[in-house]
Structure 1
Amino acid sequence: MSRALDHLVVGAATLAEGVAWCERVLGATPGPGGKHGLMGTHNRLLDISGPHHPRVYLEIIAIDPDAPLPGRARWFDLDQPALRERLARGPGLIHWVARVPDLDAALARWRGEGHDAGEAVEASRGNLRWRIALREDGRRLCREALPVLIEWGEAHPTDGMPESGVQLLGFEARDGLKARLATPRGEVVLEAVG
């Protein structure tokens, strides 16, 4: 099954803190994102595509204080006390999302290997259409070692994003999630915070 890194997820206690972190650490201001009504979260996005990692972005995500309670566990462990306590000390890299051409086939394969990556849920915003695997408990699979899976329609978020001046140079998720980026502030290494 082919899969490619789609985006890195940086969690924050508030979206404003996440934006400030991005400006301070990466030297770039993230562009607009949107709200996730199903999850009670909102985000901002930054294109980090590069020659070796095309169509990749950074998502800064936080619980939306103006959204009603979602009635289900939020994704990326955002409801877990340990992660909320960690993000209260500052934003950080918490997970990653991988793009697959056929989400149903990918989920079936993972189930066959003993991994419950969740069920496919359809979502849309503007001209973007996607299907994403959501677990009922909102937990990250194998901590951050295995990604959330996503299948995009014809458009991808990076298609409409301006260049940010930040490029992903390297990424690994074997013994811990780590990303290396070229930024206006020099090379930056992000490691999973918990």
Structure 2
Amino acid sequence: MVMELDHLVVGAATLDEGIAWCERVLGVTPAPGGRHALMGTHNRLLNISAPAYPRTYLEIIAIDPEAPGPQGRARWFDLDQPALQAALRERGPGLIHWVSRVASLDASLAQWQGEGIDGGEPVAASRGSLSWRIALRPDGRRLRREGLPLLIEWGAAHPSDTLPACGVQLLSFEARDGLSARLATPGGELRLELLA
């Protein structure tokens, strides 16, 4: 299975807090994202593509207070878990997971299943001109203990194709012993570590 880093996920108690965090910590304002009706969340995006990490972005995500929750499943990235909600409220926004793109979501999930890993089931989603298939577990659990990402298969368009350059680039990424990423920002280098 060939996986490429697609995006880093920064969770926030509210989207406004996530935007303020991005402006304060990274020195830039994230671009508009949108609403995920499927999960009752909304986001903002930041292009962090670099030569070593093409078509890569940072997603700031929060529960959308104006949207109904998902039906029959928990929200992705453990956003419904009380421990993560408490961490986001008390410590502020932070890196909570990563997403990897694959050419065939079905084949990738089958390979993981053969290795005893429940990566979830393929679910179709869309927002505006973007469409994708994503692997979701009904419990919404991140595979962080296994050091594994959430898997995504994009349609024809990718968010980074239209996101403007912002002066932030991903320099390095590691997911072996916890999740960490090193970014070049307008103010210097910054290291993000897994929040919870």
Common fold: TM-score over 0.5: yes
Aligned residue identity for 1:186: G
Secondary structure at the counterpart of residue 117 of structure 1: coil
Name the CA shift for 1:144/1:86 in 2 (closer, same or farther; >3 Å): farther
Secondary structure at the counterpart of residue 84 of structure 2: helix
Large movers: runs of 4+ above 2 Å: none
Aligned to 1:143: 145
Q: Which runs of 5+ in 1 are unaligned?
A: none
Show CA shifts across 1:12-40 (max 9, x none). Answer: 00000000000000001000101111111
Aligned to 1:80: 81
1:93 alignment partner, one of 78, 89, 95: 95
Provide the C-alpha distance between the structure 2 equivalents of 1:181 and 1:144, rounded to a whole number of angstroms. Answer: 24
Show CA shifts across 1:41-99 (max 9, x none). Answer: 00000000001100000000000000012222000000111100000020000000000
Provide the C-alpha distance between the structure 2 equivalents of 1:142 and 1:46, rounded to a whole number of angstroms. Answer: 23
User: Quick check: 2:47–2:56 contact (8 Å CA) kept in 1?
Assistant: yes
Count of residue pairs the alignment pairs up: 194
Superposition pairs for residues 100-115 of structure 1, below 5 Å? 100-115=102-117
Give the TM-score normalised by the residue count of structure 2: 0.97
Show CA shifts across 1:100-130 (max 9, x none). Answer: 0000000000000111010001111222111
Give the TM-score normalised by the residue count of structure 1: 0.98
Provide the C-alpha distance between the structure 2 equivalents of 1:23 and 1:16, rounded to a whole number of angstroms. Answer: 11
Secondary structure at the counterpart of residue 107 of structure 1: helix
Superposition pairs for residues 1-194 of structure 1, below 5 Å? 1-71=1-71, 72-89=73-90, 90-143=92-145, 145-194=147-196
Provide the C-alpha distance between the structure 2 equivalents of 1:65 and 1:126, rounded to a whole number of angstroms. Answer: 20
Secondary structure at the counterpart of residue 16 of structure 2: helix
1:144 offset after TM fit, Å? Answer: 7.0
Secondary structure at the counterpart of residue 174 of structure 1: coil
RMSD: 0.9
Provide the C-alpha distance between the structure 2 equivalents of 1:144 and 1:81, rounded to a whole number of angstroms. Answer: 21
